[in-house]
Amino acid sequence: MQLYMQVNSPQIDRSSLEQVLELPTPTGFSRGCPRSARMDLDHLLLAIEAIDLQATDVMLHLVEQLQLQAVIPNRVTFWRIRNTNPLRRQYQRANLSWDEARALTMIICAIARPVNTLMRQMVTTCQQIAENKIDLLGLQQNKFFLDGYAERFRSLYISRMRSPSPLDNDEIRELALHTLTQLLFCGGSTGEVRLWHSLFDGAVA
């Protein structure tokens, strides 16, 4: 799946952009963006990379398209803020600012929206596997595609996260499939708002 053609020229609603940048700063987090939110954002970006290994370039392209250069001025900054995920090998102890978290939320949803149909198909395939319907429905190709995504996610996770891995292979696959549901959740017209609030629901300060 080539994401670049899907998100090369996103339709940017100026009023929506302003609303996203004004997403409320959650209360009760005196130390800044919580650990779980930093992990969730990075895992969602990792899932996007597992769908398309060239996705990092798409993300950086979207920084310009979405006019986020003031928050993410270059590739190094993008690398640094992703490494605020405490599970990363190159963990950066500096916290993720609220504006950086908002920017990542925008990027994730800008990519998820045009590939919503693909996300829905992959999530449906997960359900069909659980119900042993793949052979019955002749959907082996869909399972092959999903398994390829899960393996790419596992490979990226193992290479990026600290060693030994905090998750075993089954747990990594479960995370890979869970992020698909989250990406589908991000693909709606209010995806940014929904994702933003979900990041802090139940988060520990």
Residues 34-93: pLDDT tens digits?
Answer: 999 999 999 999 999 999 888 888 899 888 888 888 899 999 999 999 999 999 998 877
62 occurs within a structural domain: yes
Whether 102 is covered by a domain: the verdict is yes
pLDDT band at 2 (very low <50, low <70, confident <90, very high): low
Which pLDDT value is given to residue 73?
93
pLDDT at 102: 93
> Does 122 fall in a domain?
yes
Residue 67 sits in which domain range? 32-199
45 near 153, Cβ under 8 Å? no
pLDDT at 137: 76
- The answer to the question of residue 151 being in a domain is yes
Residue 8 lies in a domain: no
> pTM (2 decimals)?
0.89
Q: Is residue 149 part of a domain?
A: yes
Say how many domains are in the chain.
1
More confident residue, 136 or 166: 166
**Which token pair is 65?**
């398209």
Q: Does residue 9 have a pLDDT over 80?
A: no
- The verdict on residue 111 lying in a domain is yes
Residue 16, in any domain of the structure: no
> Among 9, 8, 15, which residue's Cα sits nearest to residue 189?
15
Structural contact between residues 45 and 59, judged by C-beta atoms closer than 8 angstroms = yes
| Mean pLDDT of the region 102-108 | 93
- 10-14, 109-113, 131-135: range with lowest mean pLDDT: 10-14
Give me the mean pLDDT over the 83-105 stretch: 90
